[in-house]
Chains A and B, each alone.
Chain A
Amino acid sequence: MAEIRVFEGEAQTTTTAPKRHLISIEDLNREIVERLLATARNFSRSLEREMKKLPTLRGRTIVNLFYESSTRTSSSFELAAKRLSADVMTVRASGSSVEKGESLRDTTRTLTAFQPDVIVIRHVQIGAPQLIAATTNAHVINAGDGKHQHPTQALLDLYTMQEALGHLAGLQVAIVGDVMHSRVARSLVQALNLVDASAICIGPPALIPRGFEQIGCQVSNDISEVETADVVYVLRMQQERIAAGESFVPSLREYSARWGITPERLRPGQFVMHPGPINRGVEIDARVADSPESLIEAQVRSGLVVRMAVLYDLLTQGPVSLAPTVNMNEVA
């Protein structure tokens, strides 16, 4: 298990190894997940000190490239980088050359000219992180690509569960709501499988993708199946799912009545999580969100230390991604 190495000067890296990225949970294995969670725990202790900043990544440059609005993820990555003394620059799509129609490939080339060590990318389109990884020589961290993956969210969720329940193996997690449009659900199901925990996805029929059980979970439309879960993980339900021509559910009112998480639907001792932002009264009752069993704020705190761990691991430790990047310049 890795200890945090705190020393002056640049952290050691292997320059010959293929570039390592964290694009999907599939880039990880159980051993790496355990190492990341252990590193996060060490960072969590260091943050209890009065002097919270560590010199570990001094001289490193981290670019946060956010094409989609985000509060918690972008601020969490930014603070994580700062706590490790890296230079961090956050670029948002609005007010940048992206608005002038610059392609993702060209934006990446431009930013790469500054020689960043890591590019953190949030993008509405699936496949954007792969395209960046094939263009830059920096490490790439996917901070959410469309409905595909959000691996650091899944890692911080594992961390939060481990802190609250003391273990991960054998845990039962019920993921409730709009699985179809959720990158969080996809990453979390895969991450739970890696640590021998189990998942059941529960929601309205049109919001559970056909074939979803094949990624390694049970699926159900019946909310009463949350009963046996140790953790009820609630997903955000959006107004646009009921728009004309969409009709994933008839109304938010009906969704709330049939799948909303209320105190009555929970048994004592069940923990509740949510990736945020929450819609009180839609997918989650305010009483549940504010209850002692709610781990929602703990998730935000976990986000900081887990992202510190990911940055640290990518820049100093063995591979996070086992697979070298496919060079899309060569393939395409």
Chain B
Amino acid sequence: MILHSKAGAHGSLTIQGARVLDPGAGVDALLDLKIEKGIITELAQPAGKKRAGKGVAAEGLVLAPAFVDPHVHLRTPGREDEETIASGSAAAASGGYCAILAMPNTSPTVDNAAVLEALVEQAQKEAVIPTGFMAAISRGLAGEELTEMGELAAAGAAAFTDDGQPVPSAGMMRRALQYAGSTGRRLAMHCEEPSLSRRGQMHEGAVSAELGLAGWPAVAESVAVARNIALAAYEEQPLHLMHLSTSESVELVRRALVDGVQVSAEVTPHHLCLTDEAVRSLDSNLKMNPPLGSERDRLALIEALKSGAISCIATDHAPHARQEKDVPFEVAPFGVTGLETAFAALYTHLVEPGLLSLETLLDRMSIGPAHVFDLPVPRIAVGEPANLVLLDLEASWLVREERFRSLSINSWLLGQVLRGEVVLTMAAGRVVFGSDRVVA
């Protein structure tokens, strides 16, 4: 078992008149959906009038497979002032997610079965949606000794990562690939060559030159991507590359896929929507690792998403306490929140301007990541558990801190008006967001 959530009643309801859009199943039609005890039991032509029992009037809305986020920081254990399993999973539910995977760079690190088991137990008590946990590759994320991956996999580790840190030594990376392969879980890599990124604050280019902020060269990522791909190819092991941000990395992934390497990759909403130009504001909510790249990088990432070379959108939801971000840019920590805004941000910045189709966006937010991490694939089909999201594409909403269920507010979107709003989310057969839309 990888995903865990608190107990709750399975929903029995109808969702009537929505445009059902499931790119994986090839469905795009106006349909009524009947869900009984959490399972989709009927997909039918719209009845026109309200069916008996509890239901949602969904005319004009889009019903899609709910989202899966393979890269979330829940800050638990250790920084429960920034996020908890309860608050982070509630935030995810309101963002349309039916499953999330949390990173192990907590305090203490998730590098042994005892810590992981405690998290699983806590998730069973408070996770609003199914939540899984990655475990560390190396003890204390120090990059020196392997964790006991066999025991961790048995305890439910979804994958292994030292996220936030690269595995600096190539030899250690090789050993990690070899050993993880024997556990059936893949490695998820934060690709950064530290001797190149150094004390970098933002993408190295004309903007960093002008602002005087220490530059983080694109090659700091692509050198590590190249090394990791070479090692995965040599060991014939699968490899997931996290939060890619440069055109050079994208090209390396594209070539590796042509060569038959089992490589998968993810990209964040902020790297798809923003460039280093945004950093001119010196707003600390534009400081992230990896940093925002050039327009060329952004367009390459969008192309890779379209072609499928990058099959996952991951928020890298990274909550930080207010006082830690309320400092000059240079001393602010890296990272921004994203669970509650990912769909609307991408719909507003990519789909509406015509840079990406809605179908591709929905696929990469849901089916793509579920496949990579062997999670239940959300599908809208008879017999499947209800993992679905109801979206109002016409709605505009103002991003403001009062709306956030996350305990942190470090969003780059604060104050922006976005198009596309999550109306209702069902995860593993339960209504986890928008229950007020269900009427008797």
Which A residues are within 8 Å of any B CB, using their own CB?
103-105, 123, 125-128, 130-131, 145-149, 183, 186, 209-212, 214-215, 326, 328, 330-332
CB-CB nearest in chain A for B332 = A127
- Are A215 and B328 in contact (CB-based, < 8 A)? no
A205 to chain B, nearest CB (A): 14
Q: List 18 A-B contacts (CB under 8 A).
A: A103-B326, A123-B328, A125-B331, A126-B201, A126-B212, A126-B330, A127-B329, A127-B330, A130-B282, A145-B328, A147-B214, A148-B213, A186-B210, A209-B215, A211-B206, A211-B210, A215-B206, A326-B281
- A148-B212 CB under 8 A given contacts A103-B327, A105-B326: yes
- Are B212 and A149 in contact (CB-based, < 8 A)? yes
- Are B328 and A214 in contact (CB-based, < 8 A)? no
Residues from chain A with Cβ under 8 Å of B169 in the complex: none
B68 to chain A, nearest CB (A): 30
A125–B328 alpha-carbon span in the complex (Å): 6
Looking at B207, B323, B329, the one whose CB has the most chain A CB atoms below 10 A away is: B329
Residues from chain B with Cβ under 8 Å of A209 in the complex: 204, 208-209, 215
Looking at chain B, what size class is its interface with the partner chain?
Answer: 20 to 34
**A183: contacting residue among B212, B329, B330, CB under 8 A:** B212
A326–B415 alpha-carbon span in the complex (Å): 12
Q: Is B150 an interface residue (CB 8 A)?
A: no
Q: Is B382 an interface residue (CB 8 A)?
A: no
Q: Which 4 A-B pairs have the closest CB atoms?
A: A147-B212, A211-B206, A209-B209, A125-B328
Residues from chain A with Cβ under 8 Å of B204 in the complex: 209-211
Within 8 A of A (CB), among B208-257: 208-215, 217
Q: Is B205 an interface residue (CB 8 A)?
A: yes
Q: Is B284 an interface residue (CB 8 A)?
A: yes
Instruction: Mark each residue of chain B from 282 to 293: 1 if its CB lies under 8 Å from any CB of chain A, else 0.
Output: 111100000000
Q: Is B414 an interface residue (CB 8 A)?
A: yes
- Are A331 and B283 in contact (CB-based, < 8 A)? yes
A147–B212 alpha-carbon span in the complex (Å): 5
**Extra contacts besides A123-B328, A211-B209, A212-B210 (5): CB < 8 Å:** A103-B327, A126-B201, A127-B328, A215-B206, A331-B283
Residues from chain B with Cβ under 8 Å of A215 in the complex: 206, 209-210
Residues from chain A with Cβ under 8 Å of B285 in the complex: 331-332
- A332-B283 CB under 8 A given contacts A131-B328, A147-B213: yes
**A148: contacting residue among B211, B323, B325, B331, CB under 8 A:** B211
- Are B328 and A210 in contact (CB-based, < 8 A)? no
A238 to chain B, nearest CB (A): 15
A123–B327 alpha-carbon span in the complex (Å): 12
Looking at B208, B212, B414, the one whose CB has the most chain A CB atoms below 10 A away is: B212
CB-CB nearest in chain B for A183 = B212
CB-CB nearest in chain B for A216 = B210
Within 8 A of A (CB), among B171-216: 201, 204-215
**B327: contacting residue among A131, A211, A214, CB under 8 A:** A131
Looking at A126, A127, A147, the one whose CB has the most chain B CB atoms below 10 A away is: A127
Residues from chain B with Cβ under 8 Å of A331 in the complex: 281, 283, 285, 414-415
Residues from chain A with Cβ under 8 Å of B209 in the complex: 209-212, 214-215
A183–B205 alpha-carbon span in the complex (Å): 17
Residues from chain B with Cβ under 8 Å of A326 in the complex: 281
- Are B323 and A103 in contact (CB-based, < 8 A)? yes
A127–B204 alpha-carbon span in the complex (Å): 18
- Are A126 and B414 in contact (CB-based, < 8 A)? no
Residues from chain A with Cβ under 8 Å of B331 in the complex: 125
Looking at A104, A146, A326, the one whose CB has the most chain B CB atoms below 10 A away is: A146
- Are B283 and A210 in contact (CB-based, < 8 A)? no
A240 to chain B, nearest CB (A): 13
Within 8 A of A (CB), among B289-342: 323, 325-331
Residues from chain A with Cβ under 8 Å of B215 in the complex: 209-210
B107 to chain A, nearest CB (A): 21
Residues from chain A with Cβ under 8 Å of B201 in the complex: 126
Residues from chain B with Cβ under 8 Å of A147 in the complex: 212-214
- A210-B323 CB under 8 A given contacts A125-B331, A148-B212: no
A126–B209 alpha-carbon span in the complex (Å): 13
A215–B284 alpha-carbon span in the complex (Å): 23
CB-CB nearest in chain B for A135 = B326
- Are A104 and B205 in contact (CB-based, < 8 A)? no
CB-CB nearest in chain A for B322 = A332
A17 to chain B, nearest CB (A): 22
A131–B329 alpha-carbon span in the complex (Å): 9
A288–B1 alpha-carbon span in the complex (Å): 75
CB-CB nearest in chain A for B326 = A105
- Are A126 and B327 in contact (CB-based, < 8 A)? no
Residues from chain B with Cβ under 8 Å of A105 in the complex: 326-327
- Are B213 and A126 in contact (CB-based, < 8 A)? yes
**B325: contacting residue among A146, A214, A332, CB under 8 A:** A332
CB-CB nearest in chain B for A328 = B283
A209–B208 alpha-carbon span in the complex (Å): 8
- A332-B213 CB under 8 A given contacts A125-B328, A126-B329: no
- Are B205 and A126 in contact (CB-based, < 8 A)? no
CB-CB nearest in chain B for A182 = B212
Residues from chain B with Cβ under 8 Å of A104 in the complex: 327-328
A327–B143 alpha-carbon span in the complex (Å): 42
- Are B206 and A126 in contact (CB-based, < 8 A)? no
A306–B343 alpha-carbon span in the complex (Å): 52
A212–B284 alpha-carbon span in the complex (Å): 23
- Are A211 and B205 in contact (CB-based, < 8 A)? yes
A210–B330 alpha-carbon span in the complex (Å): 19
Residues from chain A with Cβ under 8 Å of B205 in the complex: 210-211
CB-CB nearest in chain B for A212 = B209
